């Protein structure tokens, strides 16, 4: 091992985890260990360029696997841990909730149990540095009305889907381990991410791919559900700030204030792709197929992110249209 400190990223082959790993590799003072189960949601192409670096170590496995966790902890003694390993697609959580309970609650708890033991055996200097960041979502707060103010970290969790309920449970466990065992964990709650090469099941890729393939875009219900959007790099920058300066036992919202209805998002993408000459002369109405609403579909999420801004000055930097263009081009066959 060439560098002084080690960072462990779980779910590092996923959409956000892989972008975070790319950023960590650029910071020269860390070894990076990636643990990923490589489920259908992972994307090896997003990390293959860094896998052979001398300070990057990849493990295929689960956060539910005690043996592999102990092997990594003993060998690398990580001081920072980012937990992004999760089942993440709401629709799948409605079809098969058990997978979400297993990964986002049971495996997460196994991870915490193993980490607590590890933490308690660190020497004082290492223990003072050690931090665990649980990457979570705005969906755990449940939905809010149009007239309501963006929610801050004091709002009680009120999840609607098996996905958000399982993430909520994972977050509660992290907080409980802090309160009960002094485990130095903290939680981040981010809004909807977008960026290049997101898994094709997610909303923005579905819109882009449908338009590229002349297929109708499936839109749940009336399309008026509101989501807050962040470019993936802005989220990763916030996570890097939080692991260094976030207070243990606390939660931090990561949002942009940039809210769109699902229909407005389709319009934005449609207009952008038309300007880039990627779609033929069709009207937006011809491209949409309204389908039965998703059960339990949340109306609106909206985060107040002033806490992280006050903590470390973090704010989102990416221009939405620029991020959208990069995302669209990632799905255009060369
Ligand atoms: N995508 C978003 O818009 C968004 C927004 C807020 C928060 N989050 C949270 O960020 C985290 C990452 O999200 P994402 O969009 O990158 O997800 P993703 O589905 O793209 O990636 C998840 C990764 O975790 C891996 N994984 C699954 N189960 C595992 C296990 N038991 N052990 C090890 N690895 C496992 C998968 O193989 C995959 O590579 C999740 O916790 C999610 O809840 C996502």
Please give the pLDDT value at position 34: 98
Does the pLDDT value for residue 334 go beyond 70? no
Index of the ligand 1 atom closest to the CA of residue 62: 32
Index of the ligand 1 atom closest to the CA of residue 64: 31
Please give the pLDDT value at position 255: 98
For the question of whether the overall pTM of this predicted structure is more than 0.95, the answer is yes
Count of CB atoms within 10 A of residue 236's CB? 23
Active site residue 153: no
Count of CB atoms within 10 A of residue 329's CB? 13
Q: Which residues line ligand 1 (CB under 6 A)?
A: 10-11, 13-17, 35-39, 41-42, 62-64, 84-86, 88, 103, 107, 135-137, 167, 190, 192-193, 199
Active site residue 163: yes
CA 93 / ligand 1 centre spacing (Å): 13
Please give the pLDDT value at position 285: 92
Edge-to-edge strands, sheet with 192-194: 192-194, 226-231, 259-261
Does the pLDDT value for residue 39 go beyond 90? yes
C-alpha to C-alpha distance for 24 and 48, rounded to whole angstroms = 15
Output Rg (C-alpha) for the chain, integer angstroms: 20
pLDDT in tens, 228-278: 999 999 999 999 999 999 999 999 999 999 999 999 999 999 999 999 999
Q: The dihedral of CA 175, 176, 182, 184: what is its sign?
A: negative
Active site residue 138: yes
Q: Which residue owns the Cα nearest ligand 1 atom 9? A: 136
CA 283 / ligand 1 centre spacing (Å): 35
Q: What is the mean pLDDT of the segment spanning 115-137?
A: 97
Domain positions in the chain: 5-194+231-256+304-316
Please give the pLDDT value at position 2: 47
Topology annotation, domain 5-194+231-256+304-316: Rossmann fold (3.40.50)
Tokens, residue 60: 């295929």
Mean pLDDT of the chain: 96
Lowest mean per-residue pLDDT among 129-133, 163-167, 218-222, 226-230:
218-222
Higher-pLDDT residue of 170, 280: 170
Q: Which of 80, 119, 163, 231 is catalytic?
A: 163
- Give the residue, out of 14, 61, 159, with the most ligand 1 atoms within 8 A of its beta carbon, to mutate for a pocket test: 14
């Amino acid at each position: 091992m060439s560098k002084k400190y080690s960072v462990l990223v779980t779910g590092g082959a996923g959409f956000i985890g892989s972008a975070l790993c790319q950023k960590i590799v650029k910071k020269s003072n860390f070894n990076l260990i990636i643990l990923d189960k490589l489920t259908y949601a992972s994307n090896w192409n997003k990390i293959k360029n860094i896998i052979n670096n001398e300070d990057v170590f990849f493990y295929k496995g689960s956060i539910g696997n005690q043996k592999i966790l102990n092997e990594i902890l003993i060998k690398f003694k990580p001081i920072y841990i980012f937990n992004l390993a999760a089942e993440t697609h709401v629709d799948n959580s409605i079809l098969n909730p058990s997978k979400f309970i297993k990964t986002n609650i049971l495996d997460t708890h196994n991870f915490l149990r193993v980490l607590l033991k590890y933490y308690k055996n660190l020497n004082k200097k290492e223990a003072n540095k050690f931090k665990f960041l649980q990457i979570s979502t705005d969906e755990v707060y449940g939905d809010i009305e149009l007239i309501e103010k963006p929610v801050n970290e004091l709002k009680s969790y009120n999840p609607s889907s098996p996905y958000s309920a399982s993430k909520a449970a994972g977050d509660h466990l992290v907080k409980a381990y802090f309160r009960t065992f002094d485990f130095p964990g903290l939680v981040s709650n981010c809004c909807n991410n977008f960026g290049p090469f997101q898994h094709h099941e997610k909303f923005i890729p579905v819109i882009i791919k449908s338009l590229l393939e002349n297929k109708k875009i499936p839109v749940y219900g009336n399309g008026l559900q509101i989501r807050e959007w962040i470019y993936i790099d802005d989220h990763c920058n916030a996570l890097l700030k939080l692991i260094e300066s976030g207070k243990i036992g606390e939660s931090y919202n990561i949002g942009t204030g940039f809210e769109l209805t699902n229909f407005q998002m389709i319009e934005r993408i449609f207009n952008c792709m038309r300007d880039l000459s990627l779609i033929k002369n069709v009207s937006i109405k011809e491209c949409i197929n309204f389908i039965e609403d998703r059960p339990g579909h949340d109306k609106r999420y909206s985060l107040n992110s002033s806490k992280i801004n006050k903590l470390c000055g973090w704010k989102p930097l990416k221009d939405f249209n620029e991020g959208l263009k990069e995302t669209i081009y990632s799905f255009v066959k060369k």
